[in-house]
Amino acid sequence: MYWQGWRCSDIANWLGLPHSTVRAWKTRDGWDDTPVIARVETSLEARLMQLVSKEPKTGSDYKEIDLIGRQIERFARVRRYQQPGGHEGDLNPAVQRRAEAPRRRPLRNEFSEQQKERLIALFDDQLFGYQRRWRDVGRQQRIRNILKSRQIGATFYFAREALVDALETGRNQIFLSASKAQAHVFKQYITAFAREVDVELKGDPIVLPNEATLYFLGTNARTAQSYHGNLYFDEYFWVHRFQELRKVASGMAIHKKWRQTYFSTPSSITHDAYPFWSGDLYNKGRRKDQRVEIDTSHQALAAGAACADGQWRQIVTVEDAVREGCDLFDLQQLRLEYSDDEWANLLMCQFIDDTLSVFPLAELQAKCFVDSWEAWEDFQPFAERPFGEREVWIGYDPAETGDTAGLVVVAPPAAPGGKFRVLEKKQWRGLDFAEQAAYVRDLCRRYHVGYIGIDTGSVGAGVYQLVRQFFPAAESISYSLEVKTRMVLKAKDVISSGRLEFDAGWTDLAHALISIRKTMTDSGRHVTFRSGRDDDGHADLAWALLHALAHEPIEGRDGARSNILEIF
C-alpha cells in the first residue's frame, strides 16, 4: 500500500492500527530504500499469487497471469544485466542469438550491388568516342586488333573493360605483355578503378567472389596453357617471338565464349607480328582461292572494319583520338616537339623502317629484352634500397632544344665481361633543372651510385652544376664527332655481345635505340650518328644509356679485344 502511494497514517487507519506501528514497519523494513524494480517485482508476485489461487478463473485472469509472467522474466534479465559482466544480450534475446550465431566472413574483393552499379556507370560515363566503339564491338566480335597512337588510353580502357566484364559475367581475364612489370600496369589501373567505389582489390591473380580471376602475365605465359579467359595482349608489336607466344596465348581463349584483344603501337615492318596484322599469316599455307585481301590503310580502318579473316581491325591515330573527344593532347605543340619520322611512328601509326638503324629491333629483342621481374632476383624495384649496396651508374641526356631529357640507372657487370642491366629510366619535359637534379639526388639516396655522366654541351649544363653540389665526381660529357662515335660503337659492341638487358616492356627505350642511324656529316666527309634530326630528337633515353655504357673502356674492363671491328 505504501509503494502504491498510501501514507503511513492512511494505512494505519485502514488496518485499525496505531500510526507508530506502521511507521516502525516502514523504518525496520526500509520501505523507502527498496529499489523500484524490487517494489514492482514484489507487487507483481503478490498479484500473481492472488490470480493463481483464485477459483474459478476467467479468460482475462489467464491473460493477466501470462502478462505478469512475461514481466517477471524481463525483470530477471534486467537483474542479470546489472550484475558484473552483464551485456546487451541479457536484455534482448535477439542480440544474444546474433552474437552466438556464426558470423559471415566478409568476402575478399567483394562489390556490393550498389558499388557494382556505380562502377559500371563510371565506366560508361568516362569513354571517348573510339573507346565507346571498342566497347560496342567487343560485345559482338571475337577478335579485336587495334593499331594505336601512344598515350590515347588503350591500356587504361581495356583494364576497366575487363573488370566490368568480370563482375557482370564471371569470366576470367588474362593480361599479357612483353614483361610481367608491363602487365601489372593493367593491375594498377584495375585496383585504382575499384578504389573509386571504395573496394580494395587484393591478390595476384585477383580473384572475385563470383570466381572470375584476373591474371597478369609476362612472356612466361608459354608455360600457362592451363589458363583460360578473355585475352588482352598489350604492345604485341614489341614482343619477342610473337608467333610462338601467340599460339599459346590464343589457346587460352579458344572457346567461343572468350574474346581476344590485341593492341599495340607500331614497331618495325620486319617484326614477326606484322603478318598477323596484315593478314599474311592467315593466307599462309592456304590455297589461292581461299586467300583474302585485307586493306590495312588508315583510310580503310579509321572507323574500324570487320575483316575477312575474322578479325575486327582499327587504326587510331592521335588526330583520330582528338576528333573523337580525347582532350589530352595539344597537337600544335606536339608538332613542334616531334620530328616528322617520330610524329609518323609514335602518333600516326606508321611502321618504322629500321634497316638503317644501328640498333635494329630484331637485335634488341633477341639480345636485350628480358622479363625483369622474373630474371633479376637481386633487384627489388619497390624496396627502399632496390639494388642493395651494389654499384650503379647514371646517364643523363637533355635534348638540344630543351623539350625533353632522359635518365637511366644502369647496373654495371658484376664481373669482367658480364652484363649491363638498365634498372630505371626517367623522362622529363621542360627546363626545370631543380626538379631533375632533385630526382638525381633521390637516386643517390636509394642506390650506391659510382658514376654519373651528364651531357653538358647544351641545357644539361644547368643540371650538371646542381648535381655537382652533392656528387662532385659527376662527369661532364661534351659532344663531338669523336665522342659520339665512340659512345655508339661501345654500345653496339655491348649489345651485339649480348651484354645489355632491359625490361621487354620498355618500348620507349627500344624505340629510342632504333632511331639512332648511321649517316654522313653535312660536309659529306665523315660518318656520324643521328636520331631523326640534328638535335637528336626524342632519343634522349638512348643517349643517356650510351653515356652510362661509355664509362666502361671500349675494350671492356677485362682488357679483352673488342669485336667492334667485326661489327663495322
- In tens, the pLDDT along 537-550 reads 468 899 999 999 99
Query: What mean pLDDT comes out for the span 5-25?
Result: 88
Q: Say yes or no to pLDDT of 404 above 60.
A: yes
Determine the 3-state secondary structure of 177 from DSSP: coil
Confidence of residue 522 (pLDDT cuts 50, 70, 90): low
The predicted structure's pLDDT at residue 54: 81
Provide the grid cell at 27.
Answer: 523504518
The whole-angstrom separation of Cα 453 and Cα 407 is 10
* pTM for this prediction: 0.75
The whole-angstrom separation of Cα 439 and Cα 443 is 6
Confidence of residue 101 (pLDDT cuts 50, 70, 90): low
Q: Say yes or no to pLDDT of 559 above 60.
A: no
| Contact partners, residue 128, CB within 8 Å, separation at least 6 | 152, 153, 321, 324, 325, 326
Q: Say yes or no to pLDDT of 265 above 70.
A: yes
The whole-angstrom separation of Cα 527 and Cα 477 is 20
> Is residue 174 within 8 Å of 232, Cβ to Cβ?
yes
pLDDT over 90, % of the chain: 55
pLDDT over 70, % of the chain: 88
In whole numbers, what is the pLDDT of the chain averaged over residues?
87
The predicted structure's pLDDT at residue 533: 43
Query: What mean pLDDT comes out for the span 371-399?
Result: 92
Q: Give pLDDT tens digits for 174-232.
A: 999 988 889 999 999 999 999 999 999 999 999 999 999 999 988 765 555 678 999 99
CA distances, 491 to each of 249, 252, 420, 539 (Å): 34, 39, 11, 14
Query: What mean pLDDT comes out for the span 525-538?
Result: 59
| Number of alpha carbons in the 13 Å side-chain half-sphere of residue 406 | 23
Q: CA torsion 488→490→492→494, rounded to 10°?
A: -150
How remote is the C-alpha of 503 from its chain's centroid? 17
The whole-angstrom separation of Cα 292 and Cα 283 is 7
Confidence of residue 567 (pLDDT cuts 50, 70, 90): very low
Q: Give pLDDT tens digits for 345-383.
A: 889 999 988 888 899 999 999 999 999 998 999 999 999
Q: Say yes or no to pLDDT of 413 above 80.
A: yes
Q: Give pLDDT tens digits for 24-79.
A: 988 898 888 877 777 777 777 788 788 888 888 888 877 887 887 777 777 777 76
The predicted structure's pLDDT at residue 102: 66
Pairing of strands 527-530, 475-477: unpaired
Confidence of residue 458 (pLDDT cuts 50, 70, 90): low
> Is residue 253 within 8 Å of 230, Cβ to Cβ?
yes
Q: Give pLDDT tens digits for 291-341.
A: 999 999 999 999 999 999 999 999 999 999 999 999 999 999 888 888 788
The predicted structure's pLDDT at residue 38: 76
Question: Out of 14-18, 84-88, 461-465, 498-502, which region has the weakest mean confidence (pLDDT)?
Answer: 84-88
The predicted structure's pLDDT at residue 568: 46
In this predicted model, which residue has the larger pLDDT, 87 or 537?
87
Looking at residue 214, what DSSP letter applies?
A: E
Query: What mean pLDDT comes out for the span 470-483?
Result: 90
Question: Out of 10-14, 57-61, 272-276, 400-404, which region has the weakest mean confidence (pLDDT)?
Answer: 400-404
> Is residue 151 within 8 Å of 507, Cβ to Cβ?
no
The predicted structure's pLDDT at residue 565: 43
Provide the grid cell at 137.
Answer: 564491338
